[in-house]
Structure 1
Amino acid sequence: MTESGIVISSENYISGVEGFPLTSLNSVVRNSTNNLGLIKKATENGVTILHLGKFEVVPGDVFYSHSENLKLPVPELLLSRVVNPLGQAIDEREPIKEDGKTFDLVLNTVAPGINTREEVTEQLETGVMAVDSLLPIAKGQRQLIMGPPRSAKSYFLIECILEHMEKGGYAIMGFIMKTDSEVKQIIEQIKESGNSDKIIFVVGSLNDGSGLISLVPDTCLSLAESLRDQGENVLVVLDDMGKHAKVLRELGLLMNVMPGREAYPGDIFYQHAHLIERAGKFNKDFGGSSITLFPVIETEVESYIHLIPSNLMASTDGYLLFSQELRSKGYTPAIDFFISVTRLGKKTQNKIFAELSQMARSLFLEYREVLSFGIFASDLGEKTHQLINTGSKIDELFKQESQVRMTIHTQTLLLGFFFTEFCKAQSLDFIVKNKSKLISIFEGKTFLDLLKAPEISSSLELIKSINDKSPEISKLLETNK
């Protein structure tokens, strides 16, 4: 039975409609020109409808019931495409032919329970050594990415996506109220890598209207769940959840929802938390794979203690705080390692890499701490001078330019090399000049085989083995001049 309702009032993506006595919340309706809307609220005489897009509605127009849920094309049809939250193509290529290959986009989906989950055991390789070693992330982890503008968050996200796809995973990137130029730049950088056949771009642009923009996270996670059920590991990036919160605030105020702190809806924490909980590591009944989630939020300069960032920090398994100040000093990635946290990733590192990472972390953080106040002192002790000398070398080692990604094996060998007597005797200038050459050397089969040698079962044994090969390393460095 098709129900209908007559528009009584309409303003700013919201229509008050008289009718639809039997239709449930979040049901899909359409008008005479086939524009879609969602029933979001029941009123005394009818319902409140949220427009999914920008289209004109005037009192007297009629909406008709359309379906219980929105429909999305299956992910396989959307790979390498740029689509809106309804799965409709917005790139310059041909329209997407669904041919009946769709699935339901169920709003307010309840996250799978604990009986569907498994312990995280596998590390998500980002290709960025400072993160993989000092702040490792697990497959299935929910890791918040936050920082002010121009702190190189996008650089890191692009590296993670490209590395994940190179390792056989899929990626879904959701853009929420980003400018067209920002979206275009990121998409072009990913596609220029030549590896865009395992990613879907979901864009809620400034021109789409708040109703459509609000669906971006649901669309991204629904597509990810469809791939997860097929046994695929998926990385989902939602950029920017702060703007998503502002969209929800706008819609809540327009629909007369009781506001909470800072005029956000009273259930804003729930609305974001129930989205974040849909990621994780799942058992065989749910594909035996993972959904790793990177919610992104842009903060004020060097300040992040506000309602929405705090809510997201409480809902996730850790956070990476990017710093504009560190970026201006030439650090890439510009992550504040004193404040950033990862709660799951360390348990997924292999034994040797974990030992080397702990050694590097202790040295690196001690160096950064001394650097913050002691470098200007004239009476530094010999031990402090030695720490600054050694720390400056590992600081340089952790700087990593765009499109220079390293496998965990290469990172392990590079960290092992750093702690050799051969490297300790070298200057900072040696690291600066030879870093790229060292990466190439340790990507070679001769050194990668060291990690497979049965006699090497600890970091100290690896360090000794690499040190024994220092004449060979010196020769290779000379050859590669």
Structure 2
Amino acid sequence: MTADKTDSADSLLQQQKAWLTHYRPALRVSEQGYVVSVGDGISWISGLPTAAIDDVLLFEDGSRGLVFDLTDSSVGAVLLHATDQLTAGTGVTLSGRQLSLPVGDALLGRVIDPLGTPLDGEAAPKCDAYQRLLQDSPGIVERDFVHQPLYSGCKVVDTLIPIGRGQRQLIVGDEGLGRSSLALDTLINQRGQQVPCVYVLIGQKRSTVIDTIELLRRYDAMDYTTLVVAEASALPGLQHLAPFAGCAIAEYWMHRGLHTLVVYDDLSTHAKTYRELSLLLRRPPGREAYPGDIFSIHAGLLERATCLNATQGGGSMTALPIVETQQGEIAAYIPTNLISITDGQTYLDAELFSGGFRPAIDIGKSVSRIGGKAQHPVIKQEAGRLKLDYLQFLELEVFTRFGARLEAAMERSIKRGRLLRELFKQDRLSPCSIEFQLAWMVAYNDGLIDNRTPAQIPRLLSELQTAVASSGLTLEEGRERWAEKLTDWLADTLTTQPEESR
């Protein structure tokens, strides 16, 4: 016998002795169930009397399921993985554990499914920790007030609808108005901010998934982002678990004192998937055929996004759930549910989009209930004056449609409002620094650009952005210092405009 075989035999013998040392004879009872029926991503199982909701089930053919419904005689389960051999009569056992997935820094830059299986063709990530997908949100005593801003890079959002770290801000609007673009802009703007991000794609087409991955790679955002994907062809059970998986990944970083951002794209599709599973499992339908607990499902998910206090590490999880409306109907069932759960909403309007105003954010229907408390004082001061002027302009502009003669003061307000509307316009994937946003707000509020025309605004903003970037000024410089520098810039370097823009 060779030395290697001898070492192997000795190791096996030591393992057996160790097992015998800890072995205690006792009565062991195990349950063996069997599949009654299977199809459409669910399975009915008989013979598991102690099964509980959210228990993981193991099938003899290698499939896996999650207990989703209980009756007097059978168990309803959603399939998480199904082989071609799964059929009626297949044996089923309880795994004895709750559903969890690997979490940690090894997931940054990776594309995974809701169970942690890699979808990017690379080896499985080596993670030392596991996090449960379905668990309670932090208690009241563990939370802190939202007190730090999370900058999106969008001028309208950062000034008028600010987001704080730990906030839940809903993005709502019809399809094709730029909801996902706004979320991706926010995620890209976190580059260099030490904010690990999670982007969850629920029931999306594969082409959409590929486009999202390529976009994030192009802007070097994959370095700090994890993509959780349950595409349209995935099992309904995986689509249902996708946002919970993304939340669990971000939760791991939050409990370690980091500030995280998670995007759910989108919860309308998630609600439809949950409705599909519930109807297949014969649960009684409610409004619009959704089950009665759809509100608590989304509330349990979004309540896990919060800001922890110092004793819990001081981390935070900011959530940007996306929901789709039909024909701009913001009062539909799922949108109103989510509006009542979240801390504010950013509403995108089809008429603004058609009129060329991008991003098409309706200031009147959008609100951030707690984000203002996280704004920097100087930003909050300038933005307050700005919002009042803009809302007054929107009311006054209605009168111009009837050709009515207006007073000189009203004419000035309308002229300034049109300048402000041009200032708010912003191209996709062009986030602005918060210093630049303070600069143009001070310039507008002090009337330093009142002599400009709307056609001159794009070039003025471009030159102003360059000047601010090279100045090294920060928000702590004070408003007077900013106003002084802006007066010099606008007088010296921004006075010349091309003839066609005059």
Q: Is the TM-score greater than 0.5? A: yes
Q: Does 1:96 align with 2:124?
A: yes
Tell me how large the CA RMSD over aligned residues is.
Answer: 2.1
Summarize the alignment of residues 41-60 of structure 1 with structure 2, pairs less than 5 Å apart. 41-56=69-84, 57-60=86-89
Q: State the partner residue of 2:13.
A: none
**d(CA) in 2 for partners of 1:283 and 1:128?**
28
**d(CA) in 2 for partners of 1:130 and 1:470?**
23
> Secondary structure at the residue paired with 1:471?
helix
Contact 1:77/1:96 (8 A) holds in 2:
no
Contact 2:35/2:45 (8 A) holds in 1:
yes
1:324-374 per-position Cα deviation (integer Å, ceiling 9, x unaligned): 221122112110101111001111112221111011111112222322442
Q: Which one-letter code corresponds to 1:145 in the other structure? A: I
**d(CA) in 1 for partners of 2:77 and 2:476?**
61
Shift in CA distance, 421/277, structure 1 to aligned 2, threshold 3 Å: closer
**d(CA) in 2 for partners of 1:245 and 1:118?**
30
What is the deviation of 1:26? Answer: 1.1
Q: State the partner residue of 1:81.
A: 110
| Structure 1 alignment gaps of length 5 or more | none
Shift in CA distance, 286/4, structure 1 to aligned 2, threshold 3 Å: farther
Match of 1:288 among 294, 314, 321: 314
**What is the aligned residue count?**
469
**d(CA) in 1 for partners of 2:65 and 2:241?**
12
Match of 1:467 among 487, 490, 500: 487
Shift in CA distance, 80/373, structure 1 to aligned 2, threshold 3 Å: farther
Match of 1:202 among 214, 218, 228: 228
Q: Percent identity?
A: 30
Q: Does 1:62 align with 2:62?
A: no
Contact 2:195/2:259 (8 A) holds in 1:
yes
What is the deviation of 1:318? Answer: 0.3
Contact 2:104/2:128 (8 A) holds in 1:
no
Q: Which region of structure 1 is more displaced relative to structure 2, 20-29 or 53-62?
A: 53-62
What is the deviation of 1:11? Answer: 2.5
What is the deviation of 1:87? Answer: 0.9
Shift in CA distance, 97/452, structure 1 to aligned 2, threshold 3 Å: closer
1:123-145 per-position Cα deviation (integer Å, ceiling 9, x unaligned): 11011111100111111011111
1:106-162 per-position Cα deviation (integer Å, ceiling 9, x unaligned): 42x111111000111111101111110011111101111110011111221111001
1:262-289 per-position Cα deviation (integer Å, ceiling 9, x unaligned): 1111111111111110001102343311
1:205-235 per-position Cα deviation (integer Å, ceiling 9, x unaligned): 1111111110011101111111111211111
Q: Which one-letter code corresponds to 1:467 in the other structure? A: T
Match of 2:141 among 90, 112, 115: 115
Match of 1:215 among 217, 241, 244: 241
| Structure 2 alignment gaps of length 5 or more | 1-28
Match of 1:341 among 359, 367, 387: 367
Q: Which region of structure 1 is more displaced relative to structure 2, 425-434 or 71-80?
A: 425-434
**d(CA) in 2 for partners of 1:418 and 1:203?**
43
TM-score (norm. length: structure 1)? 0.92
What is the deviation of 1:29? Answer: 1.3
Q: State the partner residue of 2:38.
A: 10
1:300-341 per-position Cα deviation (integer Å, ceiling 9, x unaligned): 122211111000000000001111221122112110101111
Q: Does 1:417 align with 2:443?
A: yes
**d(CA) in 2 for partners of 1:428 and 1:280?**
41
Match of 1:441 among 467, 473, 483: 467
> Secondary structure at the residue paired with 1:365?
helix
Q: State the partner residue of 2:132.
A: 105
1:16-54 per-position Cα deviation (integer Å, ceiling 9, x unaligned): 111122332211112123221012222223322211145
Q: Which region of structure 1 is more displaced relative to structure 2, 169-178 or 66-75?
A: 66-75
**d(CA) in 2 for partners of 1:369 and 1:444?**
38
Contact 2:418/2:454 (8 A) holds in 1:
yes
Match of 1:328 among 340, 343, 354: 354
Q: Which region of structure 1 is more displaced relative to structure 2, 366-375 or 408-417?
A: 366-375
